[in-house]
């Protein structure tokens, strides 16, 4: 597939998406958000792709924020629609994707960039990564899920501090707070994420998809996560992957999930 602002490739069972706007520090504009939706959907619809890694081009930035020039003159209705559409086609879409997404945070992840990383199922940062939600310094608030996902990951108090101060935190602090899972050298970032993805690809994609639904249910208003877990657990018993996984265990061999 050809994209204006993305690099899109696959390696065996892993899909790679690279936001490629280096002159803008990979800032998210309308076109990039739309292309990201298409790219994620394409990989998710491909049964051979069992994990996706999202990163930014270059060594300076994952995504340094949204392209402010596109919405500086918006009114209330336009701003509301900007957040609603963006959350629908990208940020919520990624969070609820059945294929696991790893964010390889290679540098600045600010505003919409951090919100994209938080929408991924987990995050690995390079040692030079800087993360923050600086929106209040522009007179707005995070509009792509930042006020919701950041407290889920780091707690209410830390989220309040990050959002109210509009400050940035480094990779090690982000790890201490639970915002990222690992911190590695820049040169090791993609190989490390690829190794994590390879571990994922050895397991049942059907079961992983069910686990994503159950975990996300706990963070959805009005939904009982335990009930979703019970439902998805039961559904698993009717899958070919369950038959293969249990048979492989009993026969003392490695499972072969299609």
Q: For residue 67, how many other CB atoms are within 10 A of its CB?
A: 18
Q: What is the DSSP string of 112-138?
A: HHHHHHHHSSEEEEETT-EEE--GGGG
Is residue 77 part of the annotated active site? The answer reads no
Q: Which of 145, 159, 153 is nearest to 181 (CA)?
A: 153
Active site residue 194: no
Selected catalytic residue, list 115, 188, 194, 229? 115
User: Would you say 146 and 125 are in contact if contact means Cβ atoms under 8 Å apart?
Assistant: no
Pairwise CA distance, residues 77 & 37, whole Å: 23
The sign one gets for the Cα dihedral 250, 251, 253, 255 is: negative
Helices (H), 22-155: 30-45, 76-86, 92-95, 112-119, 146-154
The residue from 70, 77, 135, 172 that is catalytic is 135
Q: Is 17 exposed, middle or buried (0-12, 13-18, 19+ CB in 10 A)?
A: buried
Do the Cβ atoms of 110 and 65 come closer than 8 Å? yes
Give the number of other CB atoms < 10 A from CB of residue 164.
Answer: 10
Indicate which residues carry an active-site annotation: 115, 135
């Amino acid at each position: 597939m050809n994209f204006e602002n993305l690099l899109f490739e696959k390696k065996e069972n892993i899909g790679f998406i690279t936001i490629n706007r280096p002159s803008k520090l990979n800032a998210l504009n309308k076109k990039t958000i739309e292309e990201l939706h298409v790219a994620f959907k394409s990989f998710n619809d491909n049964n051979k792709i069992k994990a996706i890694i999202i990163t930014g081009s270059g060594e300076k930035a994952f995504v340094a924020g949204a392209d402010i020039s596109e919405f500086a003159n918006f009114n209330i209705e336009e701003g509301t629609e900007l957040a609603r559409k963006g959350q629908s086609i990208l940020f919520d879409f990624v969070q609820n994707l059945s294929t696991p997404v790893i964010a390889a945070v290679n540098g600045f992840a600010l505003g919409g960039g951090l919100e994209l990383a938080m929408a991924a199922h987990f995050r690995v940062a390079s040692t030079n990564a800087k993360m923050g939600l600086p929106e209040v310094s522009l007179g707005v608030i995070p509009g792509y899920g930042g006020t919701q996902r950041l407290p889920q990951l780091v707690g209410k108090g830390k989220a309040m501090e990050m959002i109210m101060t509009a400050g940035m935190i480094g990779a090690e602090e982000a790890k201490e707070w639970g915002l990222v899972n690992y911190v590695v050298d820049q040169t090791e970032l993609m190989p490390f994420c690829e190794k994590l993805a390879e571990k994922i690809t050895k397991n049942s994609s059907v079961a992983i998809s069910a686990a994503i639904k159950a975990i996300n249910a706990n963070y959805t208003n009005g939904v009982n996560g335990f009930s979703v877990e019970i439902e998805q657990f039961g559904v698993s018993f009717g899958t070919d992957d369950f038959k293969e996984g249990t048979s492989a265990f009993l026969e003392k061999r490695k499972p072969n999930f299609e």
